[in-house]
Structure 1
Amino acid sequence: MTQTPNFSMAYLTTDNCGSAPISVAGTRIVNGSDASAEEYPYQVLVLPVVQGRVGICGGSIIKKRWILTAAHCFFDRSGNKASSVFVRVGSFKQSEGTLVAVQRFILHETYVSTDQGDDIALIELAQDLTFSSSVQPICLGQEADIPFGGKAVATGWGDLQFDITGTSELPETLQEVVLDVITIAACSPLVGLPIDTNKVICTLTPYKDACQGDSGGPLVAKLCEGRWAQVGIVSYGFECARPNNPGVYTRVSNYITWINTNTGSTAC
């Protein structure tokens, strides 16, 4: 009996989305590896300005004028909201690439705190990006693309280990790490989750994790035909890389309608 081919269900933000040449080099972001030039062309550095201080988060290019990131990136620990934000694109080095002007940022209207879910935001750039080998969009993962029991890749310029003081030196080179995606049933006894668990996914790989400064960055999975799709947004966890503490990510598939509504259309 013939079977129907298992084609990916990823939402294609543009025809060439998800064509990143990802090849994770190591097994050791916390305990990650240096990324290579142009390996993650959808990755951007998000620099929110709160009370005159510049923070650091990650983000991803999803359309020529739109960046996907986390809502909590726009607040400091005291709850003060960002007055502006800058975005740097086109480089795997934190201090390189192009600083792009931002027109506005949109936070999910029901976001209150990370552990209640809806930790998602959009940044509209002042003008369209020019796509190149170092600037490319990522596809948005649908529910069927989440590799429960499998692997996904997180990237960012965050701390290499948990630092309660917030004074550690951040890496200049983008870090990459392969993580195990676990089920909600396995995750919920280990960390507080939103009441609606469809809003999140979890990873748990002993001594490997995203960390402070990686927030808002992408968690991506490889699809059947070789594309990559973003299935998660770095949201929260307990410290970093503790062996029995999962990392929690905003589940992108739950917000595709919200993303399309706020970016104006489903067109490329």
Structure 2
Amino acid sequence: MKNILIILSFIAVASCELLTDGNITPFVSNGTKADLGEFPYHVAIVMFTEDNASICSGTFIKHKWVLTTAACLNYGFVNYTLRFGSVDLIKGEKAWESGVIQKSNFKIHPDYDRYTNVNNIALIYVEDMPANLTDHKNVGFIDFPSESDAKTNLTGKIAVISGYGLINDTVDYTEGVLYHTITEITSNDVCQIIQTYNVTEHDLCALPIDNKSVCRGDYGSAMTVEISSKNVLVGIATAIPKFCSVGIPVIYENVFYHREWILHTMNGSSVVSVGFSFAALMIMMKMKKIFIIFNLLVIACHGQQSEDTNILEREMKVGDQNIVPTITNGSRAILGQFPYQVAITMNMAGGQAVCGGSLIKHKWVLTSAHCIRNIYTNFRVTFATLNAFTGSHEWRSDIIPRGNLHIHPEFNITLIPNNIGLIYVSDMPETLTNSPNVGFVEMPNDAEANLNLIGRTGTTSGYGRTIDNVNLWDPILHYTTHDIIANNVCESVYNVNLSNRNLCVDTTTGGSPCASDAGGPMTIQINPERRILVGIVGITPSFCTIGNPGIYESVAAHRDWIERTINGSSMIGVSFAIVAAAIMMTIKNSL
């Protein structure tokens, strides 16, 4: 395999389009346009909020039953409908479209874990499906694997994949058109090299051929293989790379492995219905939320709406501005108000990205670990600016060498704790802090590190939008205040496990951090003369004006690692060139 990029991203329906506007943008990059009826089993799952429409894919496997990923059904959209027999979701014909699917007809695998991607598979029972739907020339079942088929060794097999949307990474919106291509199933060891979680027998690993691949929101799309002259379903797309035209391997859920669960669920012997539980409903009512859409890949992509009033067409068009950093409902900062706040800008496919950071010591900036991962390049740090990209500034660094990026050694993109990192700004002038607009933020001392922060009011600052539903993001420094609350509130809302390394903040009475505010500071006032850094923006809700709490990394819990890293006694450098070269050699040797 040639020219593979090493890109690690959290996969829980994590297309960058989803993370900004609730939009999953499915596509087969560099593929071939499908003919009407060529993939009669391919189903479009159209998901609606009050304002937006999103897409996943599914596979028609039996009358009234569609197979897809658990992640597509576990994201809090309000209404779901299914469209059959269509290769153009906006302008083309369709054989039939379902009514709104009741959530009680979602059958999610009981052992699904969205943080490790294990058992990411689900069924939809389409209650109102006509009995004669498969009489339509453009609708039909896929061949579900028989017991004999399930014994087939798939390694080395050429498979067919299909999906709606963009044709490569360089275009900036989907047209909702079905494309297809081929891929080669390979050893799971190849995918394991670039994943932070275990790739198991639940999974299949597939290599793109000529850089043609499923991508991002093609979640639920079928992978089929010819077995005994039948076109047999073998995989469901689940763990998809962010960049799709560069040959990165893709992980599919292994249908052979889940064959018995699928059959038992359809036959009613092991049905696991997943709707809104009473407990979840009470939480939502208490927090005054309509839905919860949760984002761990906080560097998000900006959504660009068209003027067309057709909601599906409008929401499938996605811009190429690759961040949405925001303090929603906040106040605009003035120059020098947050002298420790820095803007960390970097490049990614299709545009630029930004995170926040805090100057804690000469040449040292504290930020989130996920902001300085290898999916970004050309990092620069800007000091004393009110606009992350175009505003005047006191000073901007040269491109930061990879060796100067220090990620916590226990950071894992699929988990929450230890999302913290340091940047060594080697060319920072000695006299920079002589400026009234540049200064250090105080770190907690020993006594302050043991303070009970619950009930304290924190101040968070960051660049970006001020509300959820504007079309153009604005990288201007804003700030807000919010109370620190018990971690179990965040745990209940997001169904996650937190530790003493995390802080939870209430956003119901004030503003909220959002998206690429990641890495930015939260401070508290200890006394009139002393303000200290207590938190780093980590996990933020995708929709930031509906009162969902925010999750921060606790600075006090990481004081020892920060001090050791700065002092050089335990330097954890991230050298992209060496690591990537080693991985490339390993992949090459494994093929």
Deviations 1:10-37 (A, max 9, x none): xxxxxxxxxxxxxxxxxxx100011112
Q: What residue ranges of structure 1 are gaps of 5+ in the alignment?
A: 1-28
Paired with 2:495 and 2:467, the residues of 1 have a C-alpha distance of 22
Cα distance change, pair 35–145 in 1 and its aligned pair in 2 (3 A): farther
**TM-score, normalised via structure 2 length:** 0.37
Greater share of residues in helix: 2
Equivalent-residue separation in structure 2 for 1:125 and 1:38 (angstroms): 20
Q: 1:54 aligns with which of 352, 356, 364?
A: 352
Query: Which residue, 162, 168, 187 being the options, matches 2:468?
Result: 162
State the superposition RMSD in angstroms.
2.3
**Residue type of the alignment partner of 2:377:** S
Stretches of structure 2 lacking an aligned partner (at least 5 in a row): 1-326, 570-591
CA–CA separation in structure 1 for the residues paired with 2:414 and 2:474:
23
Please name the residue that 1:228 is paired with: 531
- 2:406 corresponds, among 90, 101, 106, to 106
Q: Is the 8 A contact 2:491 2:497 kept in 1?
A: no
Q: Closer, same or farther in 2 for the Cα pair 1:243/1:54, shift >3 Å? A: closer
- The answer to whether structure 1 residue 31 and structure 2 residue 329 are counterparts is yes
- Which of structures 1 and 2 has the bigger CA Rg? 2
- Which residue of structure 2 aligns with residue 20 of structure 1? none
2:487 and 2:503 in contact (8 A); partners too: yes
Change (3 A) 1:192 1:70: farther
**SS of residue matched to 2:512:** coil
User: What does residue 138 of structure 1 align with?
Assistant: 441
Bigger shift: residues 80-89 or 230-239:
80-89
Q: 2:493 maps to what in 1?
A: 190
Give the Cα–Cα distance (whole angstroms) in 2 for the partners of residues 123 and 89 of structure 1.
Answer: 13
**Cα-to-partner distance string for 1:226-267 (whole Å, 9 max, x where unaligned):** 21111111111222435452100011111111111111169x
Larger RCO (CA under 8 A, 6+ residues apart)? 1
Q: Deviations over 1:185-233 (max 9, x none)?
A: 33321224445x1111011121620112211100110012521111111
Q: Distance in 2 between matches of 1:56 and 1:191?
A: 25
User: What whole-Å deviation, never above 9, does each CA across 1:173-195 have from its counterpart, x for those lacking one?
Assistant: x1010111101233321224445
Displacement after TM superposition at 1:50 (Å): 3.3
Q: What letter corresponds to residue 106 of structure 1 in structure 2?
A: H
Q: Which residue of 1 aligns with 2:378?
A: 84
Q: How many residues align?
A: 230
CA 1:221–1:193 in 2, change beyond 3 Å: closer, same or farther?
farther
Contact 2:411–2:418 (CA under 8 A) maintained in structure 1: yes
Q: Is contact 1:153-1:221 (8 Å) kept? A: yes
Distance 2:501 2:562 in 1: 14
Taking structure 1 as reference, are residues 82 and 146 closer, same or farther at Cα in structure 2, changes over 3 Å only? farther
2:540 equivalent among 227, 231, 237: 237
Aligned equivalent of 1:200 = 502
Q: Are the counterparts in 1 of residues 330 and 479 from structure 2 also a CA contact under 8 Å? A: yes
**2:372 corresponds to 1:74:** yes
Distance 1:144 1:34 in 2: 32
CA–CA separation in structure 2 for the residues paired with 1:167 and 1:99: 28
| Contact in 2 for aligned 1:202/1:248 (Cα 8 Å) | yes
**Could you tell me which amino acid in structure 1 is paired with residue 347 of structure 2?**
V
When residues 201 and 110 of structure 1 are mapped into structure 2, their CA distance, relative to the original with a 3 A threshold, is: same
Per the TM alignment, residue 109 of structure 1 is displaced from its structure 2 partner at its CA by 1.5
AA in 2 matched with 1:158: G
Letter in 2 for 1:83: T
